[in-house]
Chain A
Amino acid sequence: MKRLISSLKITSLAIVTALTIASCGNETKESATNKKASVNAAAIVVSGTIDAELTSPPNVPKPVGNRPAKKLIVNMEILEQEGTMTDGTTYIYWTFGGSVPGSFIRTRVGDEVEFTLSNHPDNKLPHNIDLHAVTGPGGGATSSFVAPGHEKTFSFKCLNPGLYVYHCATAPVGMHIANGMYGLILVEPEGGLPKVDKEYYLMQGDFYTKGANGAPGLQAFDMKKAVAENADYVVFNGKVGSLTGDNAITANVGETVRLYVGNGGPNLVSSFHVIGEIFDKVHVEGGSLINENVQTTLIPAGGAAIVEFKVDVPGTFIIVDHSIFRAFNKGALGMLKVKGENHVNLYSGVKQEGIYNPEGGTLQEMPDDPNAKKVVVNSNKTLEEKIKSGKDLYTKTCFACHQANGEGIANAFPPLAKSDYLNADVNRAIGIVLNGKTGEITVNGEKYNSVMTKQTLTDVEIADVLTYVYNSWDNNKTNVTTSQVQQVKNGH
């Protein structure tokens, strides 16, 4: 027996040596440490039993800190239920724990998780769960396949630290995922992750509906679009606007924010980005490799990442999938609102404005004396000409946020079409184009709390673009003149 062991030792020593020779020293050292960690994890003895705290997004449970490994009881219920996709549009979501993404599970290396999956009796379909954190066949899917009105229990030991996706793996798998059956499970290393000030849970998903984006009423899942990977909605946390306006996540200047970001898919890969922030640290793909100073991190479908950054200046930071049409046209847009003191040495805001007139360019130079020439130029234009030029300007300047038909983007950018706010006060509208606008406003009964920057347009251009807007989409047909613009500009 002893001889057998020692011969084994020699063999494994030979293998290790071979590896060392084959690869560079650094790498071998690292993989050896990893190996050691997972071997140790299997040997960790648990002490005591606790019930897992489960949270719905964007919240996460309390950190594990330095608690010892325990037996962790997780009870998760599957609910098939109608929910809101966007204003006026609903969808039948299939959920782990009643939310999309499903409840966040927080464990540590060495924990023994006893997982009970219950399928609500009102549900029509069998389901199961495949946790990517599980080492075992199907990630638990085989052991958790459960009919409506029944429950299944299985257990597993957390061997590898990291942030992992879980999802349903019942046929048709794609449809179960497309309907929202995914979430995240975090396995913290011994001693926990370093302490931060704020932690949030975000997960991207793509949805395929019978009607196009924005079509009202209860929308059914569209299998053809799903197979073609032609998503109608790409959203964070299961719906448009789950992280905007009052639902925005928050932090204070000086705090470190950690986001646990997953991507449920089913199809699309996320180019995760926070506008105006640089990730100080990214746990690449949710694993142990840490990258620093990252602008945009790629999150595969069925994958995750942990991103951390210190917020240094106040303001609203927009969270997007930088495959950018998804953000502005399909819903993949969230907000982080940071409160606190301004630090002009870090970010100045606008310091100075001027006219940029490149040689041979077509931009009009703004005259030193606006009262002299401009009025003359303007008076020659008919209403039709103004609308035509206004339309061009709109397409260049306003379209990205307010959209092609002035419909805006729910919870982010207010509509200009049939807009009560717009039609109520033309001078206010001129003022907003001239000076920008921040803070809460109510348009057509909906609250918006966003930022519109100051627009660098000439007075004539402002008159034209506003005339176009007022003469489109059921607005009140006001003809805005250049002199009105000048009055607002000079007066008050």
Chain B
Amino acid sequence: MKTIFRLVIGSLFLWINNVNCQSEMVYIKGGTYTPLYGRDSLQVSISDFKIDVYPVTNQEYLEFVKEHPKWKRSKILSLFADKSYLINWKSDTELGDNQNLKAPITNISWFAANDCCQSQGKRLPTIDEWEYVAMANEKMPDARRLENYNQYILSWYEKPKTFNNEIGSSFKNYWNVWDLHGLVWEWTSDFNSVLISGESRKDVDNDSNLFCGSAAIGATDLMNYAAFMRYAIRGSVKAKYTMKNLGFRCVKSIENNN
């Protein structure tokens, strides 16, 4: 009897996890923070929202593709993804031999990530939402001034092939969110709103918040090399690009009736 009960509970969990991209979410209490770009006085307000605990996995994305055939590799329009889309999959519905079901999905475009989130009533996080959650370490909501926080992220940049590690293998932060640093880069809805021209030393001259240079006068924290790199990678991609080290997770706004 007990065994059957366990089985039922177990399969219930399985079912929950298997519905595409329908992963567990946690509540993030909004607030204000100072982004990397802009002046010290420039604070950004973040409303309350919910965020996926883990990046979307290979398995979850596989289910999504099965239900939404237009995102199959053979069907995808070249407008929505470049030639590396799901490049390591064996077929439209099979992962590659060395790919881990529980590793984050990568080699997907912004369009694909965006649609996957929308298909479950969610959306991609904004840069500010993502950065707001990701500036936490295990204990503090804003750990950006800590040397070991930056060092941890920089050391990830130096570890090869982390895209094939299982979700939940890096660390759980202050908000109970896993793997913001340590596995893959993640898409944001407005990734191209902070543009880097590619000539990072020149971006200093740009008027809006288009900048990135490490020598930039406008940066609030010149030691935050990790953040500079994230802005650089966001500036280097286009919405149809796919990369081996770039995945995503979804967020959900909280309706505020007051």
Residue of B202, B232, B236, B244 touching A137 (CB-CB under 8 A): B202
Complex Cα distance A271/B223, Å? 30
Q: Beyond A124-B157, A125-B157, is A142–B241 a contact (Cβ under 8 Å)? A: no
| Contact across chains for A172 and B225 when beta carbons are under 8 A apart | yes
- 0/1 string, B150-166, CB within 8 A of A gives 1: 11001101101100000
Closest to B244 in A: A121
Q: Which of B84, B160, B198, B231 has the most CB of A within 10 A?
A: B198
Q: Which residues of A contact B212 (CB under 8 A)?
A: 171
The reply to whether the CB of B247 lies closer than 8 angstroms to some CB of chain A is no
The reply to whether the CB of A141 lies closer than 8 angstroms to some CB of chain B is yes
Complex Cα distance A409/B228, Å? 37
Q: Which of A8-16, A220-228, A278-286, A338-346 contacts B (4 or more CB under 8 A)?
A: A220-228
Complex Cα distance A340/B104, Å? 62
Closest to A91 in B: B158
Complex Cα distance A210/B236, Å? 29
Q: Which of A315-346 contact B (CB under 8 A)?
A: none
Q: Beyond A124-B157, A125-B232, A220-B154, is A169–B243 a contact (Cβ under 8 Å)? A: no
> Min CB distance, A100 to chain B, in Å?
15
Closest to A130 in B: B199
| Contact across chains for B232 and A170 when beta carbons are under 8 A apart | yes
Complex Cα distance A147/B235, Å? 9
Residue of B151, B215, B241 touching A147 (CB-CB under 8 A): B241
Closest to B184 in A: A124
- 0/1 string, B214-258, CB within 8 A of A gives 1: 110000000101001101110111000111110000000000000
Q: Beyond A125-B229, A223-B225, is A171–B200 a contact (Cβ under 8 Å)? A: yes
- 0/1 string, A219-255, CB within 8 A of B gives 1: 0110110010000000000000000000000000000
The reply to whether the CB of A392 lies closer than 8 angstroms to some CB of chain B is no
- 0/1 string, A119-135, CB within 8 A of B gives 1: 00111111010100000
Complex Cα distance A224/B223, Å? 8
Q: Beyond A142-B202, A149-B84, A175-B225, is A122–B244 a contact (Cβ under 8 Å)? A: yes
| Contact across chains for A126 and B213 when beta carbons are under 8 A apart | no
Complex Cα distance A142/B242, Å? 21
Q: Which of B174-200 contact A (CB under 8 A)?
A: 185, 196-200
Q: Beyond A171-B232, A223-B154, is A137–B199 a contact (Cβ under 8 Å)? A: yes
> Min CB distance, B86 to chain A, in Å?
13
The reply to whether the CB of A474 lies closer than 8 angstroms to some CB of chain B is no
Interface size on A, residues (CB 8 A): 38
| Contact across chains for B245 and A174 when beta carbons are under 8 A apart | no
The reply to whether the CB of B201 lies closer than 8 angstroms to some CB of chain A is yes
Q: Which residues of B contact A123 (CB under 8 A)?
A: 245
Q: Beyond A125-B157, A146-B236, is A172–B147 a contact (Cβ under 8 Å)? A: no
Q: Which of A56-112 contact B (CB under 8 A)?
A: 80-82, 92
Complex Cα distance A224/B225, Å? 11
Q: How many A-B residue pairs have CB under 8 A?
A: 108
| Contact across chains for A145 and B236 when beta carbons are under 8 A apart | yes
Residue of A82, A141, A148, A220 touching B243 (CB-CB under 8 A): A148
Q: Which residues of A contact B231 (CB under 8 A)?
A: 171
Closest to A218 in B: B158
Complex Cα distance A73/B151, Å? 39
Residue of A81, A121, A171 touching B213 (CB-CB under 8 A): A171
| Contact across chains for A122 and B235 when beta carbons are under 8 A apart | no
> Min CB distance, B235 to chain A, in Å?
7
| Contact across chains for A147 and B243 when beta carbons are under 8 A apart | yes
Q: Which residues of A contact B82 (CB under 8 A)?
A: 150
| Contact across chains for B201 and A148 when beta carbons are under 8 A apart | no
| Contact across chains for A145 and B198 when beta carbons are under 8 A apart | yes
Closest to A80 in B: B160
The reply to whether the CB of A173 lies closer than 8 angstroms to some CB of chain B is yes
| Contact across chains for A220 and B158 when beta carbons are under 8 A apart | yes
Complex Cα distance A143/B202, Å? 13
- 0/1 string, B97-124, CB within 8 A of A gives 1: 0000000000000000000000000000
Q: Which residues of A contact B245 (CB under 8 A)?
A: 123-124, 148
Complex Cα distance A249/B236, Å? 40
The reply to whether the CB of A144 lies closer than 8 angstroms to some CB of chain B is yes
Residue of A149, A169, A210 touching B201 (CB-CB under 8 A): A169
> Min CB distance, B154 to chain A, in Å?
7
| Contact across chains for A145 and B196 when beta carbons are under 8 A apart | yes
Complex Cα distance A80/B225, Å? 18
Q: Which residues of B contact A130 (CB under 8 A)?
A: 199
The 6 nearest A-B residue pairs measured at CB: A145-B198, A126-B236, A138-B199, A172-B214, A171-B200, A147-B236
The 22 listed contacts between A and B (C-beta, < 8 Å) are A80-B160, A81-B160, A92-B158, A121-B243, A124-B245, A142-B197, A142-B198, A145-B197, A147-B236, A148-B245, A149-B84, A169-B201, A170-B232, A171-B196, A171-B200, A171-B212, A172-B232, A173-B213, A220-B151, A221-B154, A223-B225, A224-B147
Binding site for A on B (CB under 8 A): 82, 84, 147, 150-151, 154-155, 157-158, 160-161, 185, 196-202, 212-215, 223, 225, 228-229, 231-233, 235-237, 241-245
Binding site for B on A (CB under 8 A): 80-82, 92, 121-126, 128, 130, 137-138, 141-150, 169-175, 210, 218, 220-221, 223-224, 227
